[in-house]
Amino acid sequence: MLYHLNQTEPGTYRLNVSSTSSPLEHAYNVTIKSAQLYWDGGIDTYDVGPGPATVPEGWETEEAVDLLSNNVAGETDRTLYAGGSSKLPRSSGDEHRFARQTELTDEDSGIISGRASIQAITKVDVGVNSQLIGARGQALQLYFEVTNYRQTPITYFFRVTDELAFLRSLNPGQVTLNPGQSIIVTVALIVTPTAEIGSRDKVTFSTTGVDTVSQSAWVTVSDSAGLADTTRPSLWYTYSSRCEGRSTPATCTGAFWTLEVMARDYETGLMRISSSPAGLLYKTPFTAGTRDEVRASYTASCCQPRVTVTAYDVSRNVRSLNLDVTDIWLNEAGIAAVVLGVLLFIALIILLVLLIRYCIRKRKQSQELPIYRGGEPIGSRRTK
Protein backbone atom coordinates (compact mmCIF):
# COMPACT_ATOMS: atom_id res chain seq x y z
CA MET A 1 0.00 0.00 0.00
CA LEU A 2 1.08 3.59 -0.55
CA TYR A 3 1.89 4.41 3.02
CA HIS A 4 4.09 1.33 3.27
CA LEU A 5 6.23 2.80 0.49
CA ASN A 6 7.19 5.77 2.64
CA GLN A 7 10.19 3.75 3.82
CA THR A 8 11.54 3.46 0.24
CA GLU A 9 13.38 6.31 -1.44
CA PRO A 10 12.42 7.24 -5.00
CA GLY A 11 14.83 6.03 -7.63
CA THR A 12 15.64 3.32 -10.15
CA TYR A 13 16.12 -0.24 -8.95
CA ARG A 14 17.11 -3.46 -10.75
CA LEU A 15 14.88 -6.49 -10.39
CA ASN A 16 16.39 -9.84 -11.39
CA VAL A 17 13.82 -12.29 -12.74
CA SER A 18 14.60 -15.93 -13.48
CA SER A 19 12.50 -18.70 -14.96
CA THR A 20 12.90 -21.92 -16.94
CA SER A 21 11.82 -20.19 -20.13
CA SER A 22 14.09 -17.13 -20.02
CA PRO A 23 17.82 -16.63 -19.51
CA LEU A 24 18.96 -15.87 -16.00
CA GLU A 25 20.94 -12.87 -17.16
CA HIS A 26 17.81 -11.03 -18.26
CA ALA A 27 16.96 -8.08 -16.01
CA TYR A 28 14.22 -5.49 -15.89
CA ASN A 29 14.40 -1.86 -14.75
CA VAL A 30 11.85 -1.10 -12.02
CA THR A 31 11.00 2.46 -10.93
CA ILE A 32 9.69 2.85 -7.37
CA LYS A 33 7.85 6.05 -6.50
CA SER A 34 7.19 6.63 -2.84
CA ALA A 35 4.51 8.79 -1.31
CA GLN A 36 7.22 11.38 -0.54
CA LEU A 37 7.25 12.17 -4.25
CA TYR A 38 3.72 13.50 -3.93
CA TRP A 39 3.62 14.86 -0.38
CA ASP A 40 7.01 16.37 0.29
CA GLY A 41 7.16 17.79 3.77
CA GLY A 42 3.78 16.68 5.07
CA ILE A 43 0.27 17.78 4.26
CA ASP A 44 0.11 20.42 1.55
CA THR A 45 -2.43 21.93 -0.80
CA TYR A 46 -2.03 21.01 -4.45
CA ASP A 47 -3.43 23.17 -7.20
CA VAL A 48 -5.27 21.39 -9.96
CA GLY A 49 -5.45 22.87 -13.41
CA PRO A 50 -8.42 22.71 -15.73
CA GLY A 51 -6.96 19.92 -17.82
CA PRO A 52 -4.38 17.15 -17.94
CA ALA A 53 -1.79 19.53 -19.39
CA THR A 54 -1.49 21.36 -16.07
CA VAL A 55 -1.14 18.26 -13.92
CA PRO A 56 2.36 17.87 -12.42
CA GLU A 57 4.51 15.05 -13.69
CA GLY A 58 3.90 11.83 -11.83
CA TRP A 59 0.18 12.38 -11.31
CA GLU A 60 -2.43 10.25 -12.99
CA THR A 61 -4.25 11.75 -15.96
CA GLU A 62 -6.11 8.74 -17.28
CA GLU A 63 -9.34 9.47 -19.07
CA ALA A 64 -11.08 6.83 -16.99
CA VAL A 65 -10.48 6.16 -13.31
CA ASP A 66 -11.85 3.03 -11.67
CA LEU A 67 -13.14 3.92 -8.21
CA LEU A 68 -14.98 2.07 -5.49
CA SER A 69 -18.26 3.69 -4.57
CA ASN A 70 -19.43 4.21 -1.00
CA ASN A 71 -21.48 0.99 -0.81
CA VAL A 72 -22.27 0.49 2.86
CA ALA A 73 -24.16 -2.68 2.20
CA GLY A 74 -20.79 -4.39 1.90
CA GLU A 75 -20.84 -5.05 -1.84
CA THR A 76 -17.96 -4.03 -4.09
CA ASP A 77 -19.68 -1.68 -6.51
CA ARG A 78 -17.28 -0.35 -9.14
CA THR A 79 -18.14 2.80 -11.04
CA LEU A 80 -16.19 3.84 -14.15
CA TYR A 81 -15.50 7.54 -13.81
CA ALA A 82 -14.39 9.59 -16.80
CA GLY A 83 -12.69 12.94 -17.08
CA GLY A 84 -11.20 15.39 -14.62
CA SER A 85 -7.76 15.52 -13.09
CA SER A 86 -6.59 13.33 -10.26
CA LYS A 87 -5.30 14.54 -6.91
CA LEU A 88 -3.64 11.35 -5.70
CA PRO A 89 -1.90 8.41 -7.34
CA ARG A 90 -3.87 5.23 -7.72
CA SER A 91 -3.34 2.26 -5.50
CA SER A 92 -3.43 -1.41 -6.39
CA GLY A 93 -6.81 -3.01 -6.87
CA ASP A 94 -5.80 -5.65 -4.33
CA GLU A 95 -5.98 -2.97 -1.64
CA HIS A 96 -9.66 -2.33 -2.22
CA ARG A 97 -11.07 -4.01 0.83
CA PHE A 98 -14.16 -2.00 1.48
CA ALA A 99 -16.01 -3.54 4.40
CA ARG A 100 -15.75 -6.33 6.88
CA GLN A 101 -17.78 -8.04 9.57
CA THR A 102 -17.10 -6.15 12.77
CA GLU A 103 -17.91 -7.43 16.23
CA LEU A 104 -18.74 -5.05 19.04
CA THR A 105 -16.21 -4.89 21.82
CA ASP A 106 -18.65 -2.83 23.87
CA GLU A 107 -22.22 -4.00 23.47
CA ASP A 108 -23.58 -0.71 24.77
CA SER A 109 -21.60 1.53 22.44
CA GLY A 110 -24.24 1.44 19.71
CA ILE A 111 -21.81 2.77 17.08
CA ILE A 112 -21.34 -0.31 14.92
CA SER A 113 -23.43 -3.43 15.22
CA GLY A 114 -21.63 -6.75 15.19
CA ARG A 115 -24.28 -9.44 15.06
CA ALA A 116 -23.36 -10.73 11.60
CA SER A 117 -23.90 -7.39 9.87
CA ILE A 118 -21.57 -5.79 7.34
CA GLN A 119 -20.64 -2.20 8.15
CA ALA A 120 -18.39 0.36 6.48
CA ILE A 121 -15.12 0.87 8.31
CA THR A 122 -14.44 4.22 6.64
CA LYS A 123 -17.34 6.63 6.17
CA VAL A 124 -17.34 9.69 3.92
CA ASP A 125 -20.10 12.33 4.06
CA VAL A 126 -20.63 15.64 2.31
CA GLY A 127 -20.53 18.46 4.87
CA VAL A 128 -23.75 20.41 5.37
CA ASN A 129 -21.96 23.70 4.65
CA SER A 130 -20.84 22.58 1.20
CA GLN A 131 -21.71 24.91 -1.68
CA LEU A 132 -23.29 22.82 -4.41
CA ILE A 133 -24.87 25.70 -6.36
CA GLY A 134 -22.83 28.48 -7.97
CA ALA A 135 -22.93 31.09 -10.71
CA ARG A 136 -20.38 31.52 -13.48
CA GLY A 137 -17.00 32.60 -12.14
CA GLN A 138 -17.99 31.93 -8.51
CA ALA A 139 -15.58 30.22 -6.13
CA LEU A 140 -17.12 27.30 -4.24
CA GLN A 141 -16.00 25.08 -1.41
CA LEU A 142 -17.03 21.48 -0.76
CA TYR A 143 -16.43 19.79 2.57
CA PHE A 144 -16.04 16.04 2.92
CA GLU A 145 -16.15 14.48 6.38
CA VAL A 146 -14.01 11.35 6.70
CA THR A 147 -14.49 9.11 9.77
CA ASN A 148 -12.36 6.13 10.79
CA TYR A 149 -14.56 3.41 12.33
CA ARG A 150 -11.73 0.93 12.61
CA GLN A 151 -10.20 0.00 15.94
CA THR A 152 -6.69 1.05 14.87
CA PRO A 153 -5.20 4.32 13.53
CA ILE A 154 -5.28 4.53 9.72
CA THR A 155 -3.35 6.79 7.34
CA TYR A 156 -5.57 8.10 4.55
CA PHE A 157 -4.61 9.63 1.22
CA PHE A 158 -7.22 11.80 -0.49
CA ARG A 159 -7.97 12.42 -4.15
CA VAL A 160 -10.69 14.22 -6.06
CA THR A 161 -11.84 14.33 -9.68
CA ASP A 162 -14.54 16.18 -11.58
CA GLU A 163 -16.05 16.26 -15.07
CA LEU A 164 -16.10 19.98 -16.01
CA ALA A 165 -12.63 20.98 -14.73
CA PHE A 166 -13.92 23.24 -11.92
CA LEU A 167 -11.36 21.84 -9.43
CA ARG A 168 -8.66 24.07 -7.98
CA SER A 169 -7.30 22.59 -4.73
CA LEU A 170 -7.60 19.85 -2.11
CA ASN A 171 -6.58 20.30 1.52
CA PRO A 172 -5.26 18.26 3.29
CA GLY A 173 -3.80 15.64 0.97
CA GLN A 174 -3.29 13.01 3.65
CA VAL A 175 -3.94 12.46 7.35
CA THR A 176 -3.77 9.79 10.05
CA LEU A 177 -7.03 9.23 11.94
CA ASN A 178 -7.38 7.50 15.28
CA PRO A 179 -10.32 5.14 15.94
CA GLY A 180 -13.57 7.10 15.86
CA GLN A 181 -11.83 10.30 14.74
CA SER A 182 -13.08 12.48 11.88
CA ILE A 183 -11.55 15.14 9.67
CA ILE A 184 -13.03 17.67 7.24
CA VAL A 185 -11.31 17.82 3.86
CA THR A 186 -11.84 21.01 1.84
CA VAL A 187 -12.17 20.94 -1.94
CA ALA A 188 -12.05 24.31 -3.73
CA LEU A 189 -13.71 24.89 -7.10
CA ILE A 190 -14.26 27.80 -9.45
CA VAL A 191 -17.15 27.69 -11.90
CA THR A 192 -15.76 28.51 -15.33
CA PRO A 193 -17.12 31.69 -16.98
CA THR A 194 -18.21 29.69 -20.02
CA ALA A 195 -20.16 27.05 -18.07
CA GLU A 196 -23.70 26.53 -19.30
CA ILE A 197 -26.42 27.53 -16.84
CA GLY A 198 -28.17 24.41 -15.60
CA SER A 199 -25.20 22.13 -16.22
CA ARG A 200 -23.99 19.86 -13.41
CA ASP A 201 -20.40 18.99 -12.53
CA LYS A 202 -19.94 15.63 -10.81
CA VAL A 203 -17.20 15.90 -8.17
CA THR A 204 -15.93 12.57 -6.82
CA PHE A 205 -13.88 12.50 -3.62
CA SER A 206 -12.18 9.29 -2.50
CA THR A 207 -10.00 8.10 0.35
CA THR A 208 -7.26 5.50 0.02
CA GLY A 209 -5.91 3.76 3.09
CA VAL A 210 -6.50 0.17 4.07
CA ASP A 211 -9.83 0.50 2.27
CA THR A 212 -11.00 2.82 -0.51
CA VAL A 213 -14.27 4.75 -0.21
CA SER A 214 -15.66 7.42 -2.52
CA GLN A 215 -18.44 10.00 -2.29
CA SER A 216 -19.73 12.12 -5.17
CA ALA A 217 -21.60 15.42 -5.30
CA TRP A 218 -23.42 17.33 -8.03
CA VAL A 219 -22.39 20.99 -8.42
CA THR A 220 -25.08 22.90 -10.33
CA VAL A 221 -24.40 26.04 -12.37
CA SER A 222 -27.10 28.68 -11.80
CA ASP A 223 -27.67 32.30 -12.73
CA SER A 224 -26.73 35.10 -10.36
CA ALA A 225 -30.05 34.79 -8.50
CA GLY A 226 -29.38 31.17 -7.56
CA LEU A 227 -32.01 28.48 -7.05
CA ALA A 228 -34.94 29.15 -4.71
CA ASP A 229 -35.90 26.23 -2.49
CA THR A 230 -37.73 26.58 0.83
CA THR A 231 -39.28 23.10 0.92
CA ARG A 232 -37.93 20.68 3.49
CA PRO A 233 -36.89 17.22 2.30
CA SER A 234 -39.20 14.26 2.84
CA LEU A 235 -38.13 11.81 5.54
CA TRP A 236 -39.81 8.58 6.65
CA TYR A 237 -38.78 5.39 8.41
CA THR A 238 -39.60 1.83 9.40
CA TYR A 239 -38.19 -0.62 11.94
CA SER A 240 -36.51 -3.77 10.65
CA SER A 241 -36.06 -5.16 14.15
CA ARG A 242 -37.09 -3.97 17.58
CA CYS A 243 -36.36 -4.69 21.22
CA GLU A 244 -39.40 -6.80 22.05
CA GLY A 245 -38.88 -8.03 25.59
CA ARG A 246 -35.32 -6.62 25.70
CA SER A 247 -35.96 -2.94 26.41
CA THR A 248 -35.32 -2.89 30.17
CA PRO A 249 -31.86 -2.16 31.62
CA ALA A 250 -31.71 -5.73 32.92
CA THR A 251 -32.41 -7.35 29.52
CA CYS A 252 -31.07 -4.91 26.89
CA THR A 253 -27.46 -6.11 26.94
CA GLY A 254 -26.58 -8.02 23.79
CA ALA A 255 -29.78 -7.09 21.94
CA PHE A 256 -29.92 -4.73 18.96
CA TRP A 257 -32.51 -2.84 16.95
CA THR A 258 -32.40 -1.61 13.35
CA LEU A 259 -34.03 1.41 11.74
CA GLU A 260 -34.52 1.84 7.99
CA VAL A 261 -34.61 5.47 6.83
CA MET A 262 -35.72 6.89 3.46
CA ALA A 263 -35.28 10.52 2.37
CA ARG A 264 -35.90 12.52 -0.79
CA ASP A 265 -35.86 16.12 -1.99
CA TYR A 266 -37.58 17.06 -5.25
CA GLU A 267 -36.26 20.64 -5.50
CA THR A 268 -32.49 21.21 -5.28
CA GLY A 269 -31.75 17.63 -4.23
CA LEU A 270 -30.75 15.78 -1.06
CA MET A 271 -27.33 16.51 0.44
CA ARG A 272 -27.02 14.00 3.29
CA ILE A 273 -28.72 12.08 6.09
CA SER A 274 -27.18 12.00 9.56
CA SER A 275 -28.01 10.60 12.97
CA SER A 276 -27.33 11.47 16.58
CA PRO A 277 -25.79 9.33 18.05
CA ALA A 278 -23.64 8.67 14.98
CA GLY A 279 -23.86 5.36 13.20
CA LEU A 280 -26.29 5.84 10.30
CA LEU A 281 -24.94 4.21 7.12
CA TYR A 282 -26.14 4.51 3.52
CA LYS A 283 -27.49 1.28 2.06
CA THR A 284 -26.75 2.21 -1.55
CA PRO A 285 -24.30 4.65 -3.15
CA PHE A 286 -25.72 8.07 -3.95
CA THR A 287 -24.50 11.40 -5.23
CA ALA A 288 -25.14 14.44 -3.04
CA GLY A 289 -27.63 16.67 -4.83
CA THR A 290 -29.64 13.76 -6.22
CA ARG A 291 -33.41 14.01 -6.49
CA ASP A 292 -33.86 10.27 -6.17
CA GLU A 293 -34.77 8.45 -2.98
CA VAL A 294 -31.85 7.74 -0.64
CA ARG A 295 -31.94 4.84 1.83
CA ALA A 296 -29.93 4.40 5.01
CA SER A 297 -29.96 2.17 8.08
CA TYR A 298 -29.14 2.68 11.74
CA THR A 299 -28.34 -0.13 14.17
CA ALA A 300 -27.86 0.34 17.91
CA SER A 301 -27.96 -1.51 21.19
CA CYS A 302 -31.33 -1.87 22.91
CA CYS A 303 -29.67 -0.10 25.84
CA GLN A 304 -29.65 3.01 23.59
CA PRO A 305 -33.26 3.17 22.35
CA ARG A 306 -33.32 6.78 21.10
CA VAL A 307 -31.97 8.41 17.97
CA THR A 308 -32.46 11.66 16.05
CA VAL A 309 -32.37 11.36 12.26
CA THR A 310 -31.88 14.52 10.17
CA ALA A 311 -32.08 15.04 6.40
CA TYR A 312 -30.47 18.05 4.67
CA ASP A 313 -31.06 19.28 1.15
CA VAL A 314 -28.69 21.34 -1.01
CA SER A 315 -30.40 24.59 0.05
CA ARG A 316 -29.83 23.66 3.73
CA ASN A 317 -33.49 22.97 4.47
CA VAL A 318 -33.70 20.47 7.33
CA ARG A 319 -36.18 17.86 8.53
CA SER A 320 -35.59 15.83 11.73
CA LEU A 321 -37.26 12.87 13.43
CA ASN A 322 -36.85 12.04 17.12
CA LEU A 323 -37.41 8.31 17.49
CA ASP A 324 -37.61 5.93 20.44
CA VAL A 325 -37.70 2.21 19.72
CA THR A 326 -39.62 1.60 22.97
CA ASP A 327 -42.57 3.74 21.82
CA ILE A 328 -45.73 1.96 20.74
CA TRP A 329 -45.38 1.17 17.08
CA LEU A 330 -47.74 -0.81 14.85
CA ASN A 331 -46.96 -2.71 11.70
CA GLU A 332 -49.38 -2.94 8.77
CA ALA A 333 -51.37 -5.78 10.33
CA GLY A 334 -51.66 -3.90 13.61
CA ILE A 335 -52.80 -0.73 11.87
CA ALA A 336 -55.40 -2.71 9.91
CA ALA A 337 -56.69 -4.29 13.12
CA VAL A 338 -56.99 -0.89 14.82
CA VAL A 339 -58.83 0.61 11.83
CA LEU A 340 -61.21 -2.36 11.70
CA GLY A 341 -61.92 -2.05 15.41
CA VAL A 342 -62.69 1.66 15.08
CA LEU A 343 -65.05 1.01 12.17
CA LEU A 344 -66.88 -1.71 14.11
CA PHE A 345 -67.20 0.59 17.11
CA ILE A 346 -68.67 3.35 14.94
CA ALA A 347 -71.11 0.88 13.35
CA LEU A 348 -72.18 -0.30 16.81
CA ILE A 349 -72.88 3.27 17.93
CA ILE A 350 -74.93 3.96 14.78
CA LEU A 351 -76.92 0.76 15.31
CA LEU A 352 -77.59 1.68 18.93
CA VAL A 353 -78.82 5.17 17.96
CA LEU A 354 -81.17 3.72 15.33
CA LEU A 355 -82.54 1.21 17.84
CA ILE A 356 -83.23 3.94 20.40
CA ARG A 357 -85.02 6.09 17.83
CA TYR A 358 -87.14 3.12 16.75
CA CYS A 359 -88.20 2.40 20.34
CA ILE A 360 -89.12 6.05 20.98
CA ARG A 361 -91.18 6.29 17.78
CA LYS A 362 -93.08 3.07 18.55
CA ARG A 363 -93.91 4.30 22.04
CA LYS A 364 -95.35 7.56 20.71
CA GLN A 365 -97.54 5.69 18.23
CA SER A 366 -99.01 3.50 21.01
CA GLN A 367 -99.96 6.59 23.08
CA GLU A 368 -101.95 8.19 20.19
CA LEU A 369 -104.45 5.22 19.74
CA PRO A 370 -108.22 5.96 20.75
CA ILE A 371 -109.56 4.42 23.98
CA TYR A 372 -113.01 2.65 24.02
CA ARG A 373 -114.99 1.52 27.09
CA GLY A 374 -116.77 -1.70 26.15
CA GLY A 375 -119.42 -1.82 29.08
CA GLU A 376 -121.18 1.50 28.34
CA PRO A 377 -124.34 1.48 26.05
CA ILE A 378 -124.19 3.70 23.00
CA GLY A 379 -127.49 5.49 23.86
CA SER A 380 -126.30 6.50 27.29
CA ARG A 381 -123.36 8.59 25.94
CA ARG A 382 -123.78 12.26 26.57
CA THR A 383 -123.47 14.71 23.82
CA LYS A 384 -122.02 18.03 24.73
Distance of CA 128 to the CA centre of its chain: 13
pLDDT tens digits for 50-84?
A: 443 333 333 433 333 333 333 333 333 333 333 34
DSSP class per residue in 252-286: -TT-EEEEEEEEE-SSS-EEEEEEESS--EESS--
Beta strand 118-120 with 78-82 is: unpaired
State pTM to two decimals.
0.58
Q: Give 353's DSSP letter.
A: H
Task: Name all domains of the chain by residue range, CATH numbers in brackets.
Answer: 1-37 (no CATH), 38-324 (2.60.40.10)
Taking only the tens of pLDDT, the chain with its 384 residues reads 333 333 444 444 455 544 444 444 444 444 444 333 333 333 333 344 444 333 333 343 333 333 333 333 333 333 333 334 434 334 333 333 333 323 333 333 333 333 333 345 888 999 999 999 999 999 999 999 999 988 999 999 999 999 999 999 999 999 999 999 999 999 999 999 999 999 999 999 999 888 899 999 999 999 876 788 889 999 999 998 888 888 888 899 999 999 999 999 999 999 999 999 988 989 888 999 999 999 999 999 999 999 999 999 999 999 999 999 888 666 667 778 888 999 999 999 999 999 998 888 888 777 665 666 665 555 555 554
Dihedral over Cα of 237, 240, 246, 251: its sign: negative
**Which of 165, 217, 213 minimizes the C-alpha distance to 193?**
165
Whether 287 contacts 79, CB under 8 Å: no
